[in-house]
Amino acid sequence: YDMIYESAGLVTEFGWVVEMAIPFRGLRFPGRNAQSWRMDFWRNRPRESRFQYSWAAYDRDENCWPCQWGTVDGIEGVEPGAGLELLPALVAYQSGALNDGGDFESAEVKAEPSLGIAYAISSELTAEATVNPDFSQVESDVAQIDVNSTFALFYPEKRPFFQEGSDLFSTYFNAVYTRQINDPLAAAKMTWRNGSSSLAYLGAYDEHSIIILPFEEQSRFVENGRSWSNIARFRRDLGESSHLGFIGTDRRFVGGGSGSLAGVDGHLRLSESNAIRFQALASHSEEVDNLALVPDSAFNASTFGDGGYSGGLDGERFWGHALRMQAGRSTAVYEIDIDYQELSPTFRADNGFHPSNNFRLLMAELEAIKRLEEHPLLEYVSGDLGLARKWNFDGVRKDEWITANVELRLRAAQTGFHAQYLASNELFHDIRFDGIWQAHICTSTQPWDQLRFGGNYNHGHRIARYELVMGREIAWGVWADIKPINRLLVSGSYNRIHSDDHDTDERLFSQSVFRSAVNLQLSRRLSLRVVTQYNDRWDSWDLDPLITYRVNSLSVFYFGSTHDYRDLTLAEHGTSGWTLTERQFFLKFQYLFQL
């Protein structure tokens, strides 16, 4: 949820003061003369320890947070927001790339308009739409260590249109993952709230759609042209902190192929500390009929679902299901959770994110915390123990593990330590790997206002999944946020992983990722950001500078560029080393009109 409001701050000799003027027309509330609102004001105060203050008092044995908010009465004669907002934008860009002959070619300068529309039909019903949206200002995804992963990676949604209101589509399964709408030409949202009931809809026409093919031990990731997506969500609150919800998604490809999903979910609060959560989903898939999308004959010939279906995209149709049940008890000093999940071999979520299926998983976790109000060094100590076992739908035990965690929070310099030990036995590619283990430790601290840093170290015996042997794996990373002056923040991180064969000491794989971000706030409205990223698995450097002039949260001017470099050898051109392979300059201006 985003809105326009005015704010101002001032540092005084005693501390600081902030004022916020929030217009009633930016809020949604029932259209009646006298209002009674549940509300809380919350403050985090990071000093030696991170103190937290709230207007309302909280009982840690009560697991419902909004139930304990305060009540504000006496608001009279105000009207909820209604009206029309237009957000036109113009993007100009010029791209270039390395051609097959090894020469860098720049394309013509192009310009494209776009339009965002938001209309508050009433205090209960709002509608939004965007046509030809551009997300140039969104920074590049943080590179992840993927050298030993056989599944598609999850990246958070950063595009403003899809971020706002995303909580309405959130369920216990990732039934909705809006990044599946990869390159929308147009999209629309509608939300309706009336008392305890809410309804949300999201629709989009995508020009370059992504398909994730999930299987038991791997997933594939392909692109398949244009598609229509429709997503609907209904939720009914049942008293305080309980609800029942329904979700439905449907994606249809231009030229054939579709994926649909529907289900029910709920949260039942049995008492102040006890609750049950559940979700059940059914999916129906009609595959795209195009084996060439995955140019791998062995993969296309593989089978799943008791051998009834082939791995390749050949137009087959099938149903699948997913089920999750969780029971938990949460008090001030301990928490217990028991969680059961299952995804059938034919379950797919075309508008969601589930890169694996064909498993039944049972987990149990016990967590305890000891708060040390009088201790001179420690703020709290917590620990948890987790057990899990995983089978496939043929009843074959695929994985089992036990984890133990300990966390310490010190009173000095916001310093914390976390340690974990994992022991596991896994069946992977019909090979039994027993004796898997990993020890993990991480820490973070902020000794001064100008410096915050931390790091992690992992060591153990883990499966090298592409070599199908046990490896001695070491992974570590460091990060830091440096603020030499109030207007400048420099952030950096470095992560590395490598594995050696347990028996021969041969190096199996390695990968390093570096990322830095420099943010300079030149004035209240003008800022500069430069993101740099290096990934040695792909021998790639990325450089993304961006200048932003912000009138308010939605009226903004952007000017930026992206530069991608690869370590290449072009013998026929007599060149080698770091080469610019792709580049784009872009300029974007958008301005909000409130009518």
pLDDT in tens, the chain (595 residues): 667 788 889 999 988 899 999 888 777 777 778 888 888 988 888 777 778 889 988 887 777 788 889 999 988 888 776 678 898 999 999 999 988 777 888 999 999 999 999 888 877 888 999 998 877 666 677 778 888 898 888 888 888 788 777 788 889 999 999 989 988 999 999 988 887 899 999 999 999 999 999 999 999 888 888 999 999 999 999 877 889 999 999 999 998 999 999 999 999 988 888 999 999 999 999 999 998 888 888 888 889 988 889 988 999 999 999 999 999 999 989 999 999 999 999 999 999 999 999 999 999 999 999 988 888 889 899 999 999 999 999 999 999 999 999 999 998 888 999 999 999 999 999 999 999 999 999 999 999 889 999 999 999 999 999 999 999 999 999 999 999 998 999 999 999 999 999 999 999 999 999 999 999 999 989 999 999 999 998 889 999 999 999 987 788 999 999 999 988 876 666 667 888 899 999 999 999 888 7
CA atoms within 13 A on the CB side of 424: 25
The DSSP symbol for 141 reads P
For residue 493, give the amino acid letter: S
| Distance in angstroms (rounded) separating the CA atoms of residues 191 and 201 | 6
For residue 433, give the amino acid letter: F
CA distances from residue 225 to 65, 72, 182, 207, 256 in whole angstroms, order as listed: 44, 52, 10, 6, 11
Report the pLDDT value the prediction gives residue 273, as an integer from 0 to 100.
87
The closest alpha carbon to 91, from 559, 565, 593, belongs to 559
| Distance in angstroms (rounded) separating the CA atoms of residues 265 and 268 | 10
Residue 229 exposed, middle or buried by CB count within 10 Å (0-12, 13-18, 19+) = buried
| Distance in angstroms (rounded) separating the CA atoms of residues 482 and 492 | 9
Q: Can you tell me whether residue 54 is helix, strand or coil?
A: strand
Report the pLDDT value the prediction gives residue 585, as an integer from 0 to 100.
94
What is the value of pTM for the model shown? 0.86
The closest alpha carbon to 378, from 404, 419, 415, 405, belongs to 415
Location of structure tokens 């050898």: 569
Report the pLDDT value the prediction gives residue 578, as an integer from 0 to 100.
85
The closest alpha carbon to 275, from 68, 69, 61, 70, belongs to 61
Beta-strand runs (E) in 411-525: 416-428, 431-448, 451-464, 469-485, 488-501, 507-521
Report the pLDDT value the prediction gives residue 455, as an integer from 0 to 100.
97
| Distance in angstroms (rounded) separating the CA atoms of residues 248 and 169 | 10
| Distance in angstroms (rounded) separating the CA atoms of residues 195 and 193 | 6
* Residues 145/166, Cβ–Cβ less than 8 Å: no
Report the pLDDT value the prediction gives residue 44, as an integer from 0 to 100.
84
In degrees to the nearest 10, what's the CA dihedral of 447, 448, 453, 454?
A: 20
* Residues 430/436, Cβ–Cβ less than 8 Å: no
Beta-ladder partners of 212: 221
| Distance in angstroms (rounded) separating the CA atoms of residues 389 and 300 | 30
Q: What is the DSSP string of 563-574?
A: EEEEEEEEGGGT
Task: Classify the C-alpha dihedral 226-227-228-229 as positive or negative.
Answer: negative
Output b/e per residue, 41-79; b: 16+ Cβ within 10 A. eeeeeeeebeeeeeebeeeeebbbeebebeeeeeeeeee
Report the pLDDT value the prediction gives residue 1, as an integer from 0 to 100.
60
Q: Token pair for residue 483?
A: 């603020």
Count how many residues are written for the chain: 595
* Span between the terminal Cα atoms of the chain, in Å: 19
* Residues 70/564, Cβ–Cβ less than 8 Å: no
Report the pLDDT value the prediction gives residue 573, as an integer from 0 to 100.
63
| Distance in angstroms (rounded) separating the CA atoms of residues 586 and 107 | 13
Q: Token pair for residue 194?
A: 């009336």
The DSSP symbol for 314 reads B
| Distance in angstroms (rounded) separating the CA atoms of residues 322 and 263 | 9
Report the pLDDT value the prediction gives residue 538, as an integer from 0 to 100.
86
For residue 260, give the amino acid letter: S
| Distance in angstroms (rounded) separating the CA atoms of residues 391 and 516 | 41
Beta-strand runs (E) in 207-347: 210-214, 219-223, 227-237, 243-253, 258-269, 274-286, 303-304, 309-310, 317-330, 334-343
CA distances from residue 120 to 24, 75, 167, 552 in whole angstroms, order as listed: 13, 21, 19, 20
* Residues 192/201, Cβ–Cβ less than 8 Å: no
Q: Cα 289 vs. chain centroid, distance in angstroms? A: 31
The closest alpha carbon to 56, from 37, 75, 74, belongs to 37
